[in-house]
Amino acid sequence: MARLRLVPPDSRYRESFLAFIDELGAEAIRYREFDVFEDDDFDVYVADLRGSEDAAYQYLWLVEDEAVIGHAYVDYDRESFAKYRDGQVDYIIRPSKRRQGYGTRLLALLKEHGRARGMSRLLISCLRDNVGSRRIILANGGVPYGAVSDIFDRTRTRLQYTIDLEDTIPIPDRKELFDVWAMKYDTSVDDATFTFTGYEKVLDEAIAQAELWDGARALDVGTGTGNLAARLLAGGCGEVWGADFSEEMLTRARQKAPEAHFVRANLLEAWPDELPEQFDRIVSAYVFHEFDLETKLRLIGELNARLKPRGRLVIADIAFTTAEDREAAHRRWAGLWNEDEYYWAADEAIAALANAGIGARYVQVSICGGVFVIHRYTPSRQQPPSNEPPFEVA
């Protein structure tokens, strides 16, 4: 979605716009402005849609490269919900592009547009049962305002939200981001692209390092859509559990691995009652980079306490063999580096773990992905020095 932008209607998008209306089918009927026919003079239609420079409202098209992905309407005049209960902005994404994050991007672009027009906030609403729209609004900093019945169908409720444009761009909380991401997680985790380079191989290596056996009880922390949990089942574990704080992720995990048990839990909070107390294996993939090194160490200590004797903790994540490698990668992939995340440097982490009496091994699997293996240890005693080398390349 690199070249996504919001533009005024333009005749150069004729073919794509007509295909967009076609794709909408019966949905287009709701929008008067979509009354356009193959034999209409498209230039006249577009000029009409563009309106005058000082109009109190505007139509905008969401365009990716040369394709029309969505259509939006923004009314600059509405200062409160009192006049129009459905708010100031309305938009629609073409059906084949839904559930891929375009709605969230479109609303973010509408916010930029509103700011540029000197608006201080956006009023927006959606039907209560439209979970996708609600998520998009929340991910863009929507604050609940009220609820009214829908003007077209009074049996249905519309939820109203305000989005403050004067604030700095709101940063949605991490759980909400994951809830939104859940919809397209499996298609967006691109094996070939930094930071997920080698994703499948990294997960496979985590399973290999876990050395599973029939009947083992395993837990996948930050299970997401259940990709690692599904591998634990395929690897023969007798009892598989998954924990995650995103209900949307868990919904997908339950579909993918119905034999596993999934529990909603925040890893940084108390151990949930629904989870067993002890496991043979605890695994995790692409989660720990959410936490700084100190928090990582604390969490490792807590998970260690949940391992049975001879238990093992296996952590796969975005990681580099040395801090120097991480720095080089930071320079190389500066544009893709998320400054809010904490990618591992194995040398630094292994030294910090050793300091805390914890022995660990690390395997570099891809240019930015690797696996840590930590055997259960007794916190009061130093871990006996391991004969195994601390680093390997898979």
Ligand X SMILES: C[S@@+](CC[C@H](N)C(=O)[O-])C[C@H]1O[C@@H](n2cnc3c(N)ncnc32)[C@H](O)[C@@H]1O
- Binding residues for ligand X, per CB under 6 A? 174, 178, 222-224, 227-228, 244-246, 249, 266-268, 285-287, 290
Measured in whole angstroms, the distance separating CA 50 from the mean position of its chain's CA atoms is 35
CB of 99 to ligand X, least distance (A): 17
Whether the upstream peptide bond of residue 195 has omega within 30° of 0, thus cis, is yes
Q: Which residue, judged by CB position, is nearest to ligand X in the bound state?
A: 224
> How would you classify the pairing of strands 57-64 and 239-244?
unpaired
CB of 176 to ligand X, least distance (A): 10
CB of 335 to ligand X, least distance (A): 19
Burial class of 34 by CB neighbour count within 10 A (0 to 12, 13 to 18, 19+): middle
Q: From residue 380, how far is each of 112, 279, 305, 386 by CA, in Å?
A: 55, 20, 12, 17
Of the pair 120, 266, the CB lying nearest ligand X is at 266
CB of 212 to ligand X, least distance (A): 17
Of the pair 92, 318, the CB lying nearest ligand X is at 318
CB of 373 to ligand X, least distance (A): 17
Of the pair 285, 329, the CB lying nearest ligand X is at 285
Structural Rg of the chain based on CA atoms:
25
Of the pair 17, 178, the CB lying nearest ligand X is at 178
> How would you classify the pairing of strands 217-221 and 344-345?
unpaired
Tokens (6 digits) for 357: 């009496």
Of the pair 228, 368, the CB lying nearest ligand X is at 228
Of the pair 257, 307, the CB lying nearest ligand X is at 257
CB of 227 to ligand X, least distance (A): 4
In sequence order, which ranges of the chain are alpha helices (DSSP H)? 14-24, 42-50, 102-116, 131-139, 174-182, 185-188, 199-210, 227-234, 247-256, 293-304, 323-332, 346-355
